[in-house]
Amino acid sequence: MGRAVLTEKIGIPGIRGFDVYRSNGGYRNAEKALKEMTPADVGKEVTKSGLRGRGGAGFPTGLKWSFLDRKSDKPKYLICNADESEPGTFKDRYLMEHLPHLLIEGIIISSYALGVKSCYIYVRGEFKYIIAILQKAIGEAYQNKMLGQNILGTNFSLDIFLHPGGGAYICGEETALLESLEGKRGNPRIKPPFPAFRGLYNCPTMVNNVETLAAVAPIIGMGGNTYASIGIGKSTGTKLMSACGNINKPGVYEIDLGLPVEDFLYSEEYCGGIKNGKYLKAVVPGGSSVPVLPADLIVHTQKGDKRLLSYESLAEGGFETGSMLGSGGFIVYDEDACMVRNTWNFTRFYRHESCGQCSPCREGTAWMEPILRRIEEGKGKKKEIDLLVSIADKIEGNTICPFGDAAAWPVSSAIRHFRKEFEFHVEHPDIVKNINHGSLIRYI
């Protein structure tokens, strides 16, 4: 059974409110940080914890914090990236809905460590009810002197501002988010300079994900070394997983990193197995932007070891036989799932969400989507399968931000592992048109 670090208090009635959160130990870690530790002490504990960015990149948080230009005489900002728009990912929404004060507490501690006096929470625009929950929690924190001037009677002051996003997936990329916050179109910036030196309003800025900032509070409570003892290797601590697809128990689960994928899939504690007793076909382990893995590679690695839910294990073998933990959007496909239809669906999303700034991404997604539609409808040509791979290869690594890679990887990996399905759609258009796609497995 995994350890509940972030979700420990989630079942307590009324925990969304300040009084109940406070009476159950809430803000105790913020009090410890502000009254008993220096900002440098907090940073050291986060570094010792091995916490990595939970938004998808998995970059060490303590190391990222160390890049902030503290010598600058300009204001410093902390941005909480709550623009959770990755298909298959809904764990940040879950945290904000049920434990808004945990996020606020993590922000207070992180801001103290970074020397920040102003924080912006950039929330996905479609999260209307989440915005209301956060706004109420922020108001409660101000009323109870947890925000504003001289928090808890110390010399530290902090203001938090809530900013609804414009509904653009691209604004999940940190520099596009900063452009949007400044009132501009959400186009990613060329880096360098990095936000740690020139971010919001050209001031030193740190951008962290919701889950990342929320984890800072329990890390200060238990200590960095204790947090680092959870997990495996460089994948320390716990991780929230958004599980969905053809499983018996979809939902958000907190796991110890290093849990075998097979255990997560079939344990009654987590996903509860494949729906209707069917066989596993494939998994997208980290949200729509990571390579899909067939059943034989998601259960075992290339070496024959069990595949683990960790940054290293999922990436083993590169993109030929591996994938990424990403944001933890765990999408499961059973034996009847059509990988052509799934890939087309993802590509429709990426074509629509491309900001259009980079030609490979703008033009490439606009080429891939209609090709996949034709193949899905039984109107494609066999040479178009290789054309899709070629387009994806030309997008990957040739754009300002990782959006291009995110659009390319689902296509290239699906064809690499399920080429026979794509060829069947081309070679047997009449069958594809006239039967339920779930029955294709009987023909291929």
Domain C-terminal end among 279, 299, 334: 334
Please check whether residue 12 lies inside any domain of the structure.
no
Q: Could you tell me if 225 and 241 lie in one domain?
A: no
Prediction pTM value? 0.94
Claim to verify: residue 192 and residue 214 sit in the same structural domain? yes
Write down which residue in 207, 229, 251 finishes a domain: 229
Buried b / exposed e over 53-74, threshold 16 CB at 10 Å, is bbbbebebbbebbeebbeeeee
Same structural domain for residues 322 and 416? no
Residue 8: both structure tokens together: 């420990």
Task: Identify whether residues 98 and 113 lie together within a single domain.
Answer: yes
Residue 69 included in any domain = yes
Residues 402, 419 within the same domain: yes
Domain of residue 119: give its range: 18-229
In this structure, the answer to whether residues 289 and 362 fall within a common structural domain is no
How many structural domains does the chain have? 3
Residue 244 in any domain: the answer is: yes
CATH number of residue 383's parent domain: 1.20.1440.230
* Residue 83 within any structural domain of the chain: yes
**224 and 314 within one domain:** no
Q: Which of 229, 259, 282 is the last residue of a domain?
A: 229
Pair (353, 255) in one structural domain: no
Q: Evaluate whether residue 3 is within a structural domain.
A: no
Q: Each residue's pLDDT tens digit in the chain (444 positions)?
A: 568 999 999 999 999 999 999 999 999 999 999 999 999 999 999 999 999 999 988 999 999 999 999 999 999 999 999 999 999 999 999 999 999 999 999 999 999 999 999 999 999 999 999 999 999 999 999 999 999 999 999 999 999 999 999 889 999 999 999 999 999 999 999 999 999 999 999 999 999 999 999 999 999 999 999 999 999 999 999 999 999 999 999 999 999 999 999 999 999 999 999 999 999 999 999 999 999 999 999 876 656 678 999 999 999 888 888 899 999 999 999 999 999 999 999 999 999 999 999 999 999 999 999 999 999 988 999 999 999 999 999 999 999 999 999 999 999 999 999 999 999 999 988 877 766 555 555 555
Same domain, 343 and 292: no
Token digits of residue 176? 């596009």
Whether residue 218 lies inside any domain: the answer is yes
Q: CATH no. for residue 321?
A: 3.10.20.600
Same domain, 168 and 49: yes
Question: How far, in Å, CA of 289 to CA of 382, rounded?
Answer: 25
Residue 7 is assigned to a structural domain of this protein: no
Task: Clarify whether residues 437 and 384 are in a common domain.
Answer: yes
Tell whether 360 and 329 lie within a shared domain: no
Residue 395 lies in a domain: yes
